[in-house]
Amino acid sequence: MFVRGNIRHRTGVEFGTITDATIGLIMRECAVRAIRTIRRLRFNAEGTIKGIKPNGKPDWVSKADPEAQKMYLKLLQEHFPGIGVIAEEEELRVPCTIPGLNAYFTVDPLDGTQAYLRKQSDSVGTMISLVVDGNVVAVCIGDVMTNELYYFRPGSIKTHWIDLDNNSEPPQHLEIDPNRTLQDQYLLLRDPVDRLRSKELLKFMVQEDKGLVENYLIACGSIGITTAKLWKGEVGAAVLSGQKSTPWDDNPVIGMSLRLGFLAYKLLVKPTVRIVSTELHPTEQVNVAEHDVLLIHNSRRAELAKWCETRHIELIDRH
């Protein structure tokens, strides 16, 4: 259990400890309020350019981004004043002040801003994670358009898929079906194949006769909501790509993927084509993303190994 010390009222009365369940409840409440804020401003959404991305394209912000972030920060600091916060807008950083502990929340108040500004009816999300001493111990990802949450809290083995519009039904538990083969499923991409560093290798993966997967689909917008297709079993594998790695984007996705038993492999094409296992670790910094990374469930390692052997592709698997 991740116990945080006593709750003390301003009168000095002790009300006991902050529990793991309390942390989860407040993280969920943050996501629910963010969804309401983002939806309220949806049809009047206007964007401004706040910077330029590493690929040279504009980085947009809407009115809902800072408003949702302000709400997150208020709730988190009211309830967890010692825990740090790393959030997207203005690259906000509030340090952790708990002695002997490195604990911080990451907040992406509106994940998929460009999709939101396009008034897209999917792939708009909001994300929060809690990282303690280098481990993601809690995640809540909200789908703004479907009113669903993907969530786990400290101290629980359950990973929930919650329908906020249907409170009469218990939440579903996210689990991966180990009996579905990769060849019966699609590969999720967030960019066209020809734009990816590993395009030569990916073209082998989706070949009709000897491919690793049946086909592929491209999904844009929120990284959290698109990767949820993997966690729900809509697709069998996913490629994480991009020019930049950030705590607010990566840590919730890393936390949920590790929680559900997914493994990561670097897709390398220089100096030779090879697939190399790698570890997923949360980050506190904005970094350059150097490789495309393949996510597959650990139940499909043997299938990946067999396909690599058939295609004479070197697989280095240290998982």
The domains of the chain are located at 6-173, 182-316
pLDDT digits (tens, 9 = 90+) for 268-311: 999 999 999 999 999 999 998 889 999 999 999 999 999 999 99
67 in helix, strand or coil? Answer: helix
Q: What is the CATH number of domain 6-173?
A: 3.30.540.10
Bridge partners (DSSP) of residue 295 are 238, 264
pLDDT the model gives residue 44: 84
| In the predicted structure, residue 64 carries a pLDDT above the cut 70 | yes
- Angle at alpha carbon of residue 221, lines to 149 and 214, rounded to 5°: 90
Q: Which amino acid is at 293?
A: V
| In the predicted structure, residue 232 carries a pLDDT above the cut 90 | yes
| In the predicted structure, residue 11 carries a pLDDT above the cut 70 | no
Residues 237, 252, 122, 117, CA torsion sign: negative
Q: What is the CATH number of domain 182-316?
A: 3.40.190.80
| In the predicted structure, residue 9 carries a pLDDT above the cut 50 | no
pLDDT the model gives residue 3: 43
* Half-sphere exposure for 7 (CA within 13 Å, toward CB): 11
Burial class (CB in 10 A: 0-12, 13-18, 19+), 92: middle
Q: Say if residues 163 and 148 touch (Cβ distance below 8 Å).
A: yes
Bridge partners (DSSP) of residue 48 are 61
Q: Report the distance separating Cα 112 and Cα 30, nearest Å.
A: 18
Threshold 0.85, pTM exceeds: yes
**Which one, of 100, 151, 146, lies nearest residue 259 by Cα?**
151
pLDDT digits (tens, 9 = 90+) for 158-173: 999 999 998 777 889 9
DSSP characters over 248-277: HHHHHHHHHHHHTTEEEEEEE-SSS-EEEE
Residue 141 per-residue DSSP state: E
- Angle at alpha carbon of residue 189, lines to 146 and 46, rounded to 5°: 50
